[in-house]
Structure 1
Amino acid sequence: MKKRLLLPLFCLHACIQSVSAQTSTPSLEDTLQLNEVVVRGYATNRRLLETPASIGLLSRRDLNQRFGTPTLVPALNTLPGVRADERSPGSYRLSIRGSAIRSPFGVRNIKTYWNELPLTDAGGNTPLNALDVRALGRIEVIKGPSGSLYGAGTGGTVLFSGLGVPAGQTSVEVSALGGSYGLYGNGISVQTGKNNSAISLNYNHLQSDGYRDQSAVVRDNLSLVGSFNVSPKRTISVLALYSDLHYQTPGGLNEAQFRANPRASRFATATLPSSAAQQAGIYQKVGYLGFSHEYRWNDRIQNTTVIYGSTTDFANPFITNYEKRTDQGIGGRTVTQIRFPNGPVPTVVTVGAEYLRNFTVDRNFGNRGGIADTIQTDEELIARQSTVFLQSETELPARFRLTAGLSRNDIRYGFTRFSTRAAGGAPAIPLTRNFTPVWLPRVALLRTFGQNVSAFVSISTGYSAPSTQEVRPSAGGFNTTLNAERGTSYEVGLRGSALRNRLRFDVAAYQFRLTETIVRRSDAAGAEFFVNAGRTDQRGLEAQLSYDFLSPAYYTSPTAFFSLVRIWNSLTLTEYRFRDYKQGTADLSNNKVPGVAPTTNVTGIDAETKAGIYAHVTYQFLSPFYLNDANTVLADPTQLLQATLGFRHSLGKNWTIDIYASGDNLLDRTYSLGYDLNAVGNRYYNAAPARNGVGGVRLRVKW
């Protein structure tokens, strides 16, 4: 292990590591240096160098070229402080600066947006698996509480963007891929850009038999993104998404089963059937339609207002029951920016509000071999979430910039259980859970040093009410005693570039103190429920370093062979512990929070030639971490090697072909890409695929 830590320790000693390895992309961002890359986080629209926050960037290269299998998981895992799991194909779980103890499945405690359109619903849930990575062009990840501008959530915020559409050009790209374990996919992308409009239409299909028994997946995604400049001052945009997803859920294995046959699905017990016998899985259809209106009164004042509607049709045959859920969501967000550039201290003021509402009908039935049986519960849930916010960004003398923000957050749930035969004809039971509105402040101070280095400090607060899937877990019922999480984060960061911008670094250290931490429990059947677990103390260090072996002058030379040769490293060090936490008579205070690796180290090499050959190699190491609150079970260390080799070439003026082959888990390790934490029966393990490969082709024509 000492050898494995040499590179991270060297990076720490070399001190300031980091960066824009996230911005390695074949698009414009690849040609930009750190002091030129612009980010949208905290509505600054400033250079990353001038943004007083920890923000990770993923470009189109990171999302769609570095790894062969079209999934968000490997790209997100290259960012320090970010961890994405996939317990079975299609079952995503995402955490930012925290553990996945709140998420047996799905994405919680994180806000997500497509431009200004909210993707996270009023109940705090994000259908991340409804997005296809092949339709994405960029992701920004704001790490840590960002409630001063984005509302409830203690983990962070993710900002998605679609593929860029060049002006004055129309293009069509078709793609196909195939790989191990019955993997197959295809897609088509149509883009057209005019002087006053840009439209992108994408359809993508993916299917796989899966590595494990009972782990097949079929997914179809359709997206339409359009932007129209209807006048010099007015822009209207539209986002339409539709996802049809079915994936089987093999269930967790205990250690003996995992070692003996990692490809097995969950076995039957004396009292419960197996996953395969019950046809356990998820059927999910998601539709989303949003409109955005941007109006620029003048060069000092502009407003962006969005509205959206969403619908979800969800079914989950489980070991013990069959859940059917329908959900309708509506919401909107308005943001106004006012600039005061000519005063003694130039200031930008951002003011706005957000309102989200969801109506959910949730029914549980018996499960007879994958067929819904007698109804057991019939429930309705209404979730409302409102936020108002104000932020000022002021340029001070001596190259200082002060950002101060404040928001008010209000979350309310209404629940009704209706009578069923199983309930013995009991009357309907209406319940409410209204959380006390909270004010969330954030203050950050940044100073630049010359053109290439900056440092910042920040204090931010976060608030995360239980999601609808936590107050109303899959087993049914409504938890009126579960409290919201509340925390304060203290952070210091340093980023910049040296050696004529060939070396780029980004380092952040933080301490996050969280109270009323929500953790997952499960009953004997494996159904989850949630409790508050006192306090947690979360300390971390995140660092990224990237180095270009060749100078910018070389890349611009007409005789250059390479267009990119880069090595990069992402390091995450954490120390997360419970405080004031008891389970019955057992005092678990000072135990480590499960699901968080003390050391995560990801190293990559990227090379591209002007002839069109490109190669990416990524090595990931996670040190062992605990799988339960009692700290009695430890995961194996993870060593994952991935590589992609491709050739992209122009065929005349209008055609481009891209052929690639990619390998995953090239060291052929038996490992779990997602653990079931605190699992009953010690069924913690969900085996990821053994050594596997994928090959694909993309053909593009433009005119």
Structure 2
Amino acid sequence: MDRRIQCVRSIHARQASGAVRGSSPQATEAQTHAAMYDGGRAPAGRLRPTHCRTTQSRILPMNRIAVRNPRTRLGSLALALLLGALLMLPAAPAAAQADTDTVPTFNLDSLVVSVLGTPVRFGRSPYPISVLGESDLRIGKTGMFLEEALQSLPGVQVQNRFNYAVGERISIRGFGSRAQFGVRGIQVVIDGIPATLADGQSTLDHLDIASLGRVEALRGPASAMYGNASGGVLRFETEMPAGTPVREEFTTVGGSDGLLRLQSLTSGTVGDASYLISLDRLEYDGFRKFANGANTGDAFGAARRRHANARLVQPMGGGQLGITMNYFDLDSENPGSLTRAQFNADPTQIAPTYNTFKTGKDVNQGQLGLTWGGPVAGLTAEAAVYGVTRDFSNPLPNDVVDLDRRAGGGRLTLGRSTTSGSTGIDLLAGVEYDLQDDDRREYTNSGGLPNTLTQNQTESVKSTGAFFQASLSLMDRVSIVAGARYDHATFKVTDLFPVTARVDENDSGSRDMDKFSPTIGVHVAAAPGIGLYANYATSFETPTTVELGNRANASGGFNPDLDPMTGETLEAGARGTLLDRVSYEVSLFRTNLENELIAYENVNVLTYYQNAGKTRRTGAEAIVRARLLDFVTGQVSYSRTNAEFVEYVDLKGLDFSGNKVPGLSPQQLQGSLRFTRAGWYLDLGAEYTDEVPVNDRNCLVALVAGACPASAGGARQDGFTRAYTLVGVRVGGTGVQLGRFEITPFAGLQNLMDERYMSSVTVNAFGGRFYEPGPGRTLYVGGTLAVSR
């Protein structure tokens, strides 16, 4: 058995005997991985599992920090200069590598990941996986948006709408790009508890970004392991608790557009138990403003959020019990998307329709989750159960949606590992059950308040899955992972609206959807420091209850013509290291999809969905990390995804075959440099985002035949956003010690070039309102005061 995998498993065994303090097997494993990734170092006051320590260099990707558009040439020049500096700086002399505590080296095999279900060495994975540690996710960042944390991942696009009412659009290789709000097409797990509901939608409102410790991203379809809506996987883990009985951290961040975030984080280890309690308050006015009228110049787009997150881990029953509790309350305004003319005139203005109907979102949610992991009858068992309650009010143009949700589920996996000579086998089998019950009522909108009831129905989803996975290691050179899963989902709607009060009939009904999903991947250690991999994976994605329930004619019930999306992916890639100072990964993929779900808006600004016939995505991803000098690290990542309709005739008979699939940027290029000296750091970063198609026509004018005109009346008519480059800088300290106190100051300047850009799009929006603007140049300043007892 591999020594590093064995090391991780020995932690589980020691947990059972109480020899290792900390969290559940999954959490303590994550702590070990973080220590490996960070060269065995951990933040002050944190648990440091040195029994598995290796030297592993870390490259801290730069926060995406912005740029504006008549000056795109200037922004592109800045990006070119940054990337040129990264590639041209000489490597440090060999003598500097003698002290690995000062200059960590790269060792991909020292990092162990868990997103595949069983511990796998990062350098031997047959699937594309990215890992971010605590410093990558949080150092010098505001903790406001997930985009700050994930923007360095190749293949992962986070379109930050700077609008808490609809959230950030997250997509992995295009899966999730259709989401008008929330997250679609991606499985999300937080501290071992699913954040993806039975119908496939994920909500990240309750994610405590400011206390994240680790993220693992599986970039590509994973339905064989995770079931419905698994075009990719994001696995989040809360930071490690302090190794002392009590450590208190107080963080304050203030900045442009009325930003104020306050956080109290208390954690510690007492005996064999560890705990973490985070309390967070956010106030944000937003940058969108009234363009005219009595409130001209006043902000609209504000958000007020209160969040509490707690985690307790202690030994129980020969294993480790983890208890996670969180609650949040969010009140936010939605300034809406703009037409191109409105954007060109003033990108900070709010859409007049959204002001009329006082659009926004008011939601509160509570969640409780339990995890347990340990040995059972010679097997390794992991179990999780959770429950969610969510109350939601959502004023939209013309309508107000009032929804009460109750959801929950459970998951059980059993695993066994055996070795024979140089051959190792890991077997994993499990079952999963999730349920979801929604009480949905819709009213006419009267100035943001509900008026006449137009829809009243209950919606329920029950999802069941069973899966099996086998991992085979041959002579420490060949790794094979194969698995399969069967999923069945039942959607049921009960129409409670009186038939006599409507012209239509009772819309009650049900839908059943199921799928068998196989996968297989192979990795070969071709030479020292070089690994080659290939995989075949499948995807299965049902429509969510919202997508089934929103019909073009605004009637109740579920859309009987909307089918699940299915797909197959072939991929090949390589990863490795050079001179122990550079790591790289390159991958090529091709995905064929049937029945892709496409969003539309009708005249009442109601979003509804239909299936496209067939689509194809081909792409490439690359990332290079390097330690250029003792005090300089750098990173470059590139993603290209060519997504197009292969066969697609819409309900009006228009043929869009050959057009680009909307909502997805075909190219992204990111680069960053970090300079560190005597406990201080300076980060420089830039990101280029290519133009994004906004609708299926790829054109702003209605077409009967022929190509889209380049312009009409002097205005652009092509259905794409402008490409843009964002540049930024961060500076801060890694911890200034003043007696028992530790002070960590930081500051950042975002959108350094004050770029005018479209940060996201509303796909197939009615009336040409496709464009969601990003803010101009912004500044933030913050700091953390910590004390341990």
TM-score (structure 2 length as normaliser): 0.81
Q: Which stretch shifts more, 400-409 or 542-551? A: 542-551
**Where does residue 203 of structure 1 map in the other structure?**
279
**Where does residue 604 of structure 1 map in the other structure?**
672
DSSP-derived class of the 1:102 partner: coil
Distance verdict in 2 for CA 1:164–1:628, change over 3 Å: same
Once residues 693 and 655 of structure 1 are traced to their aligned partners in structure 2, the CA distance between those partners, rounded to angstroms, is 27
Once residues 163 and 396 of structure 2 are traced to their aligned partners in structure 1, the CA distance between those partners, rounded to angstroms, is 17
> Which structure has greater strand proportion?
1
Choose which of 598, 606, 616 in structure 1 pairs with 2:683: 616
- Paired letter, 1:392: A
CA apart distance, 1:295: 2.0
DSSP-derived class of the 1:471 partner: helix
Please tell me whether residue 656 in structure 1 is matched to residue 735 in structure 2.
Answer: no
**Where does residue 148 of structure 2 map in the other structure?**
74
Tell whether the 8 Å contact from 1:484 to 1:516 is kept in structure 2 after alignment: yes
DSSP-derived class of the 1:541 partner: strand
**Where does residue 386 of structure 1 map in the other structure?**
464
CA apart distance, 1:430: 2.2
Alignment of 1:183-582 (within 5 A): 183-213=259-289, 214-230=300-316, 233-267=318-352, 274-297=353-376, 301-342=379-420, 345-397=423-475, 399-420=477-498, 423-424=501-502, 428-435=506-513, 437-473=514-550, 477=556, 478-499=558-579, 501-550=580-629, 562=631, 565-582=632-649
TM-score (structure 1 length as normaliser): 0.91
DSSP-derived class of the 1:346 partner: strand
How big is the alpha-carbon RMSD for the aligned residues of Structure 1 and Structure 2? 2.5
Once residues 191 and 451 of structure 1 are traced to their aligned partners in structure 2, the CA distance between those partners, rounded to angstroms, is 41
CA apart distance, 1:101: 4.6
- Paired letter, 2:578: A
Distance verdict in 2 for CA 1:29–1:314, change over 3 Å: farther
Distance verdict in 2 for CA 1:652–1:129, change over 3 Å: same
Once residues 490 and 29 of structure 1 are traced to their aligned partners in structure 2, the CA distance between those partners, rounded to angstroms, is 38
Tell whether the 8 Å contact from 1:100 to 1:595 is kept in structure 2 after alignment: no
Once residues 248 and 30 of structure 1 are traced to their aligned partners in structure 2, the CA distance between those partners, rounded to angstroms, is 46
Tell whether the 8 Å contact from 2:158 to 2:171 is kept in structure 1 after alignment: yes
Distance verdict in 2 for CA 1:426–1:598, change over 3 Å: closer
Choose which of 654, 657, 661 in structure 2 pairs with 1:586: 654
Deviations 1:38-93 (A, max 9, x none): 11121232221011111122221222115335321132222111111232332222
Deviations 1:644-702 (A, max 9, x none): 11123333453210111111111101112211111111111111111011111100001
DSSP-derived class of the 2:734 partner: strand
Once residues 515 and 450 of structure 1 are traced to their aligned partners in structure 2, the CA distance between those partners, rounded to angstroms, is 39
CA apart distance, 1:420: 4.2
**Where does residue 690 of structure 1 map in the other structure?**
776
- Paired letter, 1:52: P
Deviations 1:256-289 (A, max 9, x none): 111111111112xxxxxx2122110011111110
Once residues 577 and 314 of structure 2 are traced to their aligned partners in structure 1, the CA distance between those partners, rounded to angstroms, is 37
DSSP-derived class of the 2:516 partner: strand
Tell whether the 8 Å contact from 1:242 to 1:285 is kept in structure 2 after alignment: yes
Once residues 83 and 640 of structure 1 are traced to their aligned partners in structure 2, the CA distance between those partners, rounded to angstroms, is 14
DSSP-derived class of the 2:235 partner: strand
Once residues 399 and 601 of structure 2 are traced to their aligned partners in structure 1, the CA distance between those partners, rounded to angstroms, is 15
CA apart distance, 1:351: 0.4
CA apart distance, 1:372: 1.1
Tell whether the 8 Å contact from 1:377 to 1:422 is kept in structure 2 after alignment: no
Distance verdict in 2 for CA 1:186–1:489, change over 3 Å: same
Tell whether the 8 Å contact from 2:175 to 2:232 is kept in structure 1 after alignment: no
**Where does residue 115 of structure 2 map in the other structure?**
41
- Paired letter, 2:412: T
- Paired letter, 1:471: L
| Identity percentage of aligned residues | 26
- Paired letter, 2:463: Q
Deviations 1:124-153 (A, max 9, x none): 111112212102111111111111111112
- Paired letter, 2:573: G
**Where does residue 554 of structure 1 map in the other structure?**
none
Tell whether the 8 Å contact from 2:598 to 2:612 is kept in structure 1 after alignment: yes
DSSP-derived class of the 1:87 partner: coil
**Where does residue 724 of structure 2 map in the other structure?**
638
Distance verdict in 2 for CA 1:4–1:658, change over 3 Å: closer
Alignment of 1:17-96 (within 5 A): 33-68=107-142, 70-90=144-164, 91-96=167-172
**Where does residue 702 of structure 2 map in the other structure?**
none
Once residues 107 and 306 of structure 2 are traced to their aligned partners in structure 1, the CA distance between those partners, rounded to angstroms, is 37
Distance verdict in 2 for CA 1:32–1:490, change over 3 Å: same
Distance verdict in 2 for CA 1:687–1:464, change over 3 Å: same
CA apart distance, 1:535: 0.8
Tell whether the 8 Å contact from 1:509 to 1:542 is kept in structure 2 after alignment: yes
Once residues 614 and 361 of structure 2 are traced to their aligned partners in structure 1, the CA distance between those partners, rounded to angstroms, is 33
DSSP-derived class of the 2:457 partner: strand
Distance verdict in 2 for CA 1:115–1:31, change over 3 Å: farther
Deviations 1:354-410 (A, max 9, x none): 110000000001111111112111011001111100000011247111111000011
- Paired letter, 1:178: G
Deviations 1:284-330 (A, max 9, x none): 111110001112147x6210111110011111111111110010001
**Where does residue 192 of structure 2 map in the other structure?**
116
DSSP-derived class of the 2:735 partner: strand
DSSP-derived class of the 2:356 partner: coil
**Where does residue 17 of structure 1 map in the other structure?**
none
Tell whether the 8 Å contact from 1:291 to 1:306 is kept in structure 2 after alignment: yes
DSSP-derived class of the 2:508 partner: strand
DSSP-derived class of the 1:134 partner: helix
Tell whether the 8 Å contact from 2:187 to 2:230 is kept in structure 1 after alignment: no
Q: Which stretch shifts more, 57-66 or 145-154? A: 57-66
Mind listing any 5+ residue stretches in structure 1 that lack a counterpart?
A: 15-26, 268-273, 552-561
- Paired letter, 1:247: S
